[in-house]
Amino acid sequence: MVSEILMGFDESTLAYDLQRAHSADIWFLRARFFLWGGIACVFSFSIGHMLPLFGINVFQWILDGLFSFWHHLWG
């Protein structure tokens, strides 16, 4: 349902189209893939750079958890 809303087709339509697709159709599929991949990449990098602005330090949380686990095991 979500793919039909976002992309305008479902899996059976895509499978049927890929059987009869020519090079322009494949180019448009690749272009759509690179467009959404680029948008996802920029969005994820933006979120990653905004987290420290609000005082959220994910790497420090990971390191604190690992050190705590290590000291819990070998204390």
> Which tens digit of pLDDT belongs to each residue from 23-63?
777 788 889 999 999 999 999 999 999 999 999 999 999 99
- Residue 8 confidence (pLDDT) above 80: no
What is the average pLDDT across 62-67?
94
CA distance 33 to 45: 18
- Residue 6 confidence (pLDDT) above 70: no
- Residue 1 confidence (pLDDT) above 60: no
Burial of 52 (0-12, 13-18, 19+ CB in 10 A): exposed
- Residue 21 confidence (pLDDT) above 80: no
